[in-house]
Structure 1
Amino acid sequence: MSEKWDVLSTPGHLVSIAARGFARLSEARLRPLGFGVGHLPVLVALRDGRAHTQRDLALFARVEQPPMAQMLARMERDGLIRRTPDPDDGRSSRIALTETTLSRIPEAVAALYQGNRDALDGFTDTEAAQLVVLLARLITNLDQITSVEK
C-alpha cells in the first residue's frame, strides 16, 4: 500500500467512521426498545447461554470488569437483567435476562438487521458477503497485533 494516501482515506479511518455510523443508527433503532448498542454483547451472550457471570460477560464482550459491572448495574436498574446467587461460588452472581427483555429481543434483532440492509443499500449480496469476510479478517489481524503489543 502506498504511504502517500490521505490519512482520511485510509481503511482505519474509514472503518472508524463506518463503525460510528452503525453505532448511531443502531442506538436510534434500539432506544425505543430500552436497549443500547453496548447492551448487545450482554444480550447475545445471555440469550444464547454463552455466559452467566459478570466475569464471563466481560470476557465475551472484550471489556474490562469495571465497565461491565457498571453496565450490568444500569441494566439491572432498568429491569433488563436479574441476578441470583451463584450456587457454585458464593461471591458471584448468576445473571439472566428478564422476561420483558426476552420478549423485546426479536424486535431488536429485526431492527438491527433492517439497519444493516439499509446501510448496505446498493451493495450486491456478493459484495455484502465479501465485506463481512474482509472485516472478519481485519478484526483477526487487529486482535493478533494488539495481543502482541500488550
Structure 2
Amino acid sequence: MPEEFDRPNSFGWLVNVVANKASKDFDVELKKYGLTIALWPTLMCLWEEEGLTQRDIAAKSKVENSTTTRTLDKLEKLDLVERRADPNSRRSFRIYLTEKGKELEKDIIPVPARVNKELMSALDADEQQQMIGLLKKMVAAI
C-alpha cells in the first residue's frame, strides 16, 4: 500500500512555499533594476569572484551549464558582464563584470538581506541559526 502524502506536513511542500515567497519578493525588487531572479546566481558568483569560466559559475551557483549560457547571454546584452578569451584554453572564456555590473552590486546586495530578514522574522534567533544550519547540511549533501 502506498504511503499517504501529507501535504501540510511535507518538507518539500513547506520549503517550496517559503522559496516561492522569497523568489517573488526578491524578483519584485530586482525588476526595479531591470533584472530577474534568474540572473541573480550568476551575478552573485561574479561579485564574489571574477574571471570564472562558465562551468565554474554553473557549479558554484548549482545551475545547469546550458542555463548559465543563456544567463550570460542576457547579462552581456545588459552590458553587465563580458566574456574574455581564456589564455590557458582556446575553447574557453573567462567571465568578468563590466563597470556597470560592478556598480550594480552596491544597490543589489542589500536586497536579499532584507528579503531574508522579513522571511526569518517569524523565528527567534536560535531557530534562525538552527534553520540555516540544517539547510546548509542538506545543500552540502546535494
Shift of 1:27: 0.7
What secondary structure, in the 3-state scheme, does the structure 1 residue paired with 2:52 have? coil
Label 1:64 to 1:121 Cα distance change in 2 as closer, same or farther (>3 A).
closer
Hey, what does 1:14 align to over in structure 2? 14
Hey, what does 2:31 align to over in structure 1? 31
Aligned length: 140
Hey, what does 1:146 align to over in structure 2? none
Question: TM-score, normalising length from structure 2?
Answer: 0.86
Amino acid at match of 2:19: A
Matches within 5 A, 1:46-65: 46-49=46-49, 52-65=52-65
Query: Is residue 89 from structure 1 mapped to residue 84 from structure 2 by the alignment?
Result: no
The CA distance in 2 between the partners of 1:136 and 1:95, in whole Å, is 27
Shift of 1:5: 6.2
The CA distance in 2 between the partners of 1:38 and 1:126, in whole Å, is 31
The CA distance in 1 between the partners of 2:119 and 2:38, in whole Å, is 20
Shift of 1:10: 0.9
Contact kept, 8 Å, 2:54 with 2:65, in 1: the verdict is yes
Unaligned runs of 5+ in 2: none
Hey, what does 2:131 align to over in structure 1? 131
Shift of 1:43: 1.6
What secondary structure, in the 3-state scheme, does the structure 2 residue paired with 1:84 have? strand
The CA distance in 1 between the partners of 2:88 and 2:24, in whole Å, is 40
Label 1:69 to 1:108 Cα distance change in 2 as closer, same or farther (>3 A).
same
Shift of 1:140: 3.4
Unaligned runs of 5+ in 1: 144-150
The CA distance in 2 between the partners of 1:87 and 1:34, in whole Å, is 33
Shift of 1:94: 1.4
Contact kept, 8 Å, 1:51 with 1:57, in 2: the verdict is no
Amino acid at match of 1:108: I
The CA distance in 2 between the partners of 1:67 and 1:117, in whole Å, is 29
